[in-house]
Amino acid sequence: MPEIDDGARTVGEAIEMARIATEDGIEYMVSTPHMFNGLSHNPQPAEILDRVAALNEAIGSKGVKILAGNEVHISHDIAEQAEAHRVTTINQRNHMLVEFPQLTVPVGADELFYKLLLQGIHPILVHPERNGQIQSNPSIVANFIERGVLIQITAMSVTGEFGPAAKACADALLRHHCVHFLATDAHRPKSRPPILSRGRDAAAMIVGEEHAAALVETNPRAVINGEVLHAPPPIPFGSSAKSKRSFFARFFHDRQRLTH
């Protein structure tokens, strides 16, 4: 989305990114300007929808199609902001991208995710493999999944382009079935381009071709269509982890079935 955040600086740069994505086989991209991170001007859904329409027109019908969304920085009032329709869910359906601070996992994040789920909004935690606390303890992610949270990691983390710590964490999350989506997190044509295939291929070396394809095809398609995502439960980290699903996991799984 040009001229709104830390992504494309101009319409021309955005069109170049769309060309790169199309050549990489990407059919849809979700525009995700930041919300509530202290740097963004917090664009309202109406503004995002207008900008998405204008960008799709500039790209043309033969290129990648842009969908509306937000990357929402977690805060104490995130559920209230969602309820007030101040954030843009993915393709205006029932999933929302949520990000943590770079170094820590916020205290009370479980409760904030729970409040979103009670509204019928399924939170997708983005790039947890780049969070310092999670790098030290990846099992934190499995605990969130048990509570109904979905997980998206960055393709460049799997290829090692975000450094060894992010790659090691991404690999561990993949091995333990703690990843539901692989995304480009694209910002610019050169420094962080919209290329997904390299990350998919690297993920396939860990989880196999079929599983890797689900991370970039089947699962994202379910989200943009507002459908229930069917994914295997996490493989426990360590011998002390419980192999059976917790009450939270059963509750939110059943709730997802009832709300669709």
CATH class of the domain whose range is 72-258: alpha beta
CA angle 83, 84, 90 (to 5 degrees): 65
pLDDT at 231: 85
Q: What is the reported pTM?
A: 0.89
User: Number of helices (H) and strands (E), helices first, in the chain?
Assistant: 12, 8
Sheet of 95-99, strand order: 34-35, 71-73, 95-99, 122-126, 150-154, 181-183
Which is nearest to 81 in space by CA: 93, 70, 68, 65?
70
Three-class SS state of 56: helix
| Rounded CA separation 61/22 (Å) | 12
Element (H, E) at 96: strand 95-99
- Please, what is the angle between helix 139-146 and helix 109-118, to 10°? 30
pLDDT at 36: 81
Low-confidence ranges of the chain (pLDDT < 70): 38, 239-260
Which is nearest to 159 in space by CA: 130, 127, 198, 189?
198
pLDDT at 244: 41
DSSP 57: H
Q: What are the structural domain ranges in the chain?
A: 72-258
